[in-house]
Each structure stands twice: as structure tokens, then as C-alpha cells.
Amino acid sequence: MPGMTKKQKETVHQAEQLLHNSRNDPDMAAEMAAYGYDEDRWSEGKALIEAAKAAAHANKLAYSAKLGTTDAFTQRYEQVWEQCRELSDICVQLFKGQAEHLDALGLHRQRNQTTGSRLTRLQKTGSFAEIQAWSRNLYHVALAHPDIAPVLNNYGYPADRLNQEAADVEATIEANHVQEQAKETALQSTIDRDHAFAQLNIWYRRAQKFADKAEKRLKKRPAIEVSL
């Protein structure tokens, strides 16, 4: 999960509590000092706590950014898909029976033993790489083919509209690129967060063991003083 996991929150709380108690209780501080926990070592612990909290915050921000880029891509993708679908539907109607033109547009016929010949086109569930290649080809042919472009121009698809929709395709491809980069950043931020907490855990577990020893020594101290 983004930010801190439940276990990581507990680790931060326990480490901060240990740091506070051991530094602010003079007796506990003296006992811990005997085990080598001087100001430098406590400062090291505080730095590790802050580093873990910062990494968790960066992880939360990275996942928030990833969601934003995914939403932006999804909106563009839905728009472009509808535009491609409408253009391909028009082309199917205008160039019915003209296999060469339909093939050039990426609208191919396939033979099926049950249904006979049928027109197939890329499905929305196809990979984005396939959709990217298909949509780019669709608009390139629609704009550049000498027999296709003039017909489309007469049926509501002049060059300026095709160019705008082709630009929308490129913008969607760029949005997908940004989304993929955000995914990589979010994944790396999770790795960085977990590494920061691994470092904190090492410091905390060791310090806690010495704190337990120090507390046992403190509990024995009154009995020793009375016996004297």
C-alpha cells in the first residue's frame, strides 16, 4: 500500500518512543550510554526514522501521481478509441467491397468456415502497442492515400479533422508513456521505502535489545541499594 503499511507505522511509533524515553530519562540514558548509545548513536536513530518517514511520504506522492497519469491516459484513450471506431465504421461503409482500400486501413477480411467472410478490426481489449500501431496507420492512410482521402473529405472527414484526430492519437501515446514512467517511479519509491524501513528495523531491534537490558539493570538497582 502507498505510504506506510500498518507494520511500518508501528515501527516508527516504537522507534520514536524508544528514542524519547532513552534520551529523556537520565537513569535510562546513563544505562544506555554504558552500551555505547551516546548522542551520535541516538542521532543516527533519529535520522533513520526521518529517512523512513520521508521515503513513505515520497511513496504516497508517487502513487498519487501514478493515479493521476492513469486517469489522464484513460480519458484520452476512451476519446481516441471512439474517434477511431467512428472513422473505421465510415470507412467500412464507404469502401465496402474494396478489399485493397480496407486492407490498407487495417480493416481486413478473414474467412470463417461457419460465418463465411467477415470484416475484422482491432478490439479495444487488444494490447496498447497493437492499438497504437493500428490507429497510427488508420489516420496515416486516411490522410495520405490518393483514393481514400478525397472520399473521406466528402463525407465529413476533411484533412483538418483527420489531422486533429491523428494528433489526439499521438497525445494518447504520450499520455501512456507518461503513465508508464509514473508506474516505474511508484514501483521504485516502494523499493526505496522498504529499504529505508529495513535500515530502521536493524537499528531499532538492536537498540531495543539493549534497552531491555538497561531496564532490567534499573529494576535491580533499588534492591542492590537496600541490601547495602
Closest CA to 45 of 27, 21, 78, 80: 21
Q: Tell me the pLDDT band of 48, cut-offs 50, 70 and 90.
A: very high
pLDDT in tens, 57-106: 999 999 999 999 999 999 999 999 999 999 999 999 999 989 999 999 99
Sign of the Cα pseudo-torsion (82, 172, 162, 152, in order) = negative
pLDDT at 118 over 50: no
Q: Tell me the pLDDT band of 115, cut-offs 50, 70 and 90.
A: very low
For the chain, give the mean pLDDT.
91
The model carries a pTM of 0.79
Let me know: does 66 contact 199? Beta carbons within 8 Å: no
* 224 or 180, higher pLDDT: 180
Q: What residue spans define the domains of the chain?
A: 6-227
End-to-end Cα spacing for the chain: 56
What CA–CA distance (Å, rounded) separates 128 from 74?
Answer: 12
Please list, in sequence order, all residues whose beta carbon lies within 8 angstroms of the beta carbon of residue 139, skipping any fewer than 6 positions away.
87, 162, 165, 166, 169
pLDDT of residue 90: 95
pLDDT of residue 2: 84
Q: Tell me the pLDDT band of 117, cut-offs 50, 70 and 90.
A: very low
Q: Tell me the pLDDT band of 1, cut-offs 50, 70 and 90.
A: confident
